[in-house]
Amino acid sequence: MSFIQAFDQHGAWRKQFALRLKLLSEWLADHDLMEPGIRERLDQLHAQIKNDKITVAFVAEFSRGKSELINAVFFAGYGRRIMPASAGRTTMCPTELAYDADLPPCLRLLPIETRLQPQSLLDWRHAPAKWERVDLDVNDPKQLAKAIQKVSEVRHVPVDEARALGFWHDELPEDNPLPGPDGLIEVPRWRHALINMAHPLLKQGLVILDTPGLNAIGAEPELTVSLLPQAHAVVFILAADTGVTKSDLSIWRQHLATLGDGQASRLVVLNKIDTMWDALSSPEQVQLQIAAQRADSAEILGVPQSQVLAVSAQKGLLAKVNRDEELLKASQLIDLERALGEGLLGQRRRILGAAVASGVEALRGEAGRMVHSRLRDLVEQIQELDGLRGKNAGVIKQMRLRIEQEQADFDASGAKIQAVRSVHLRLLKDLFALLSPSHLKAEVATLAKQLKSPGIKLGVRRAYDGTFNRLREDLARADEMAGEIQSMLEGSFKNLNAEYGFSLQAPSSPQLALYRRDLDLIEKSHLQYLSLGNALRLAQPEFAERLARALMSRLRVVYETAVNEVELWNKSAAAQLDAQLRERRRNFTRRIEAVSRIQQAASGLDERIRELQGQQTALNQLEAKFEELTAHLLAAPDEEPAEALAA
pLDDT of 218 > 60? The answer is: no
Are 402 and 326 in a shared domain?
A: no
Q: What is the pLDDT of residues 277-324, one digit of tens each?
A: 877 788 888 889 999 999 999 999 999 998 899 999 999 999 999 999
Of the residues 331, 349, 369, the one at which a domain ends: 331
Q: Which range scores top for mean pLDDT: 78-82, 257-261, 328-332, 423-427? A: 328-332
- Beta-bridged to residue 196, according to DSSP, are 98, 106
Answer for the pair 375, 618: CB distance below 8 angstroms, yes or no.
no
The mean of the pLDDT values for the chain is 83
Count of beta carbons in the 10 Å neighbourhood of residue 418: 10
Answer for the pair 166, 188: CB distance below 8 angstroms, yes or no.
no
Q: Which range scores top for mean pLDDT: 231-235, 257-261, 316-320, 369-373? A: 316-320
Are 587 and 453 in a shared domain?
A: yes
pLDDT of residue 258: 66
Average pLDDT on 464-488 reads 91
424 versus 444: which is more confidently predicted? 444
Average pLDDT on 169-186 reads 82
pLDDT of 645 > 50? The answer is: no
Closest residue by Cα to residue 37 from 494, 560, 606, 578: 578
Are 503 and 576 in a shared domain?
A: yes
Question: Domain range holding 232?
Answer: 54-153+189-331
pLDDT of 270 > 50? The answer is: yes
Are 111 and 259 in a shared domain?
A: yes
pLDDT of 77 > 80? The answer is: yes
The reply to whether 84 falls in a domain is: yes
Least confident of 161-165, 237-241, 246-250, 545-549: 545-549
Are 266 and 415 in a shared domain?
A: no
- Residue 231: pLDDT band by 50, 70, 90 thresholds? confident
Task: State percent of the chain over pLDDT 70.
Answer: 90
What CATH number is given to the structural domain containing 139? 3.40.50.300
Q: What is the pTM of this model?
A: 0.73
Query: In what side-by-side order are the strands of the sheet with 190-196?
Result: 132-135, 106-111, 190-196, 95-98, 206-210, 54-60, 233-239, 266-271, 308-310
CA angle 409, 411, 414 (to 5 degrees): 110
Least confident of 163-167, 263-267, 284-288: 263-267
Are 467 and 536 in a shared domain?
A: yes
pLDDT of 461 > 70? The answer is: yes
Q: What is the pLDDT of residues 618-630, one digit of tens each?
A: 888 888 888 888 8
Alpha helices in 149-208 (DSSP H): 159-165, 200-203
Closest residue by Cα to residue 525 from 132, 255, 264: 255
For the chain, the domain total comes to 2
Are 253 and 401 in a shared domain?
A: no
Q: What is the pLDDT of residues 527-559, one digit of tens each?
A: 766 765 566 667 777 777 777 888 888 899 899
Average pLDDT on 217-231 reads 72
Average pLDDT on 104-108 reads 94
Of the residues 331, 349, 375, the one at which a domain ends: 331
Task: State percent of the chain over pLDDT 90.
Answer: 22
pLDDT of residue 535: 66
pLDDT of residue 317: 94
Of the residues 331, 346, 371, the one at which a domain ends: 331
Are 326 and 400 in a shared domain?
A: no
The reply to whether 302 falls in a domain is: yes
Helices 516-527 & 541-600, crossing angle to 10 degrees? 170
Q: Which range scores top for mean pLDDT: 131-135, 285-289, 372-376, 441-445? A: 131-135
The reply to whether 24 falls in a domain is: no
- Residue 470: pLDDT band by 50, 70, 90 thresholds? very high
pLDDT of residue 582: 84
Alpha helices in 254-324 (DSSP H): 283-301, 313-322
pLDDT of 643 > 50? The answer is: no
pLDDT of residue 263: 46
Are 401 and 305 in a shared domain?
A: no
**Greatest CA separation found in the chain?**
112
Collapsing DSSP states into helix, strand and coil, what is residue 502?
coil
Average pLDDT on 56-75 reads 88
The reply to whether 357 falls in a domain is: no
pLDDT of residue 134: 94
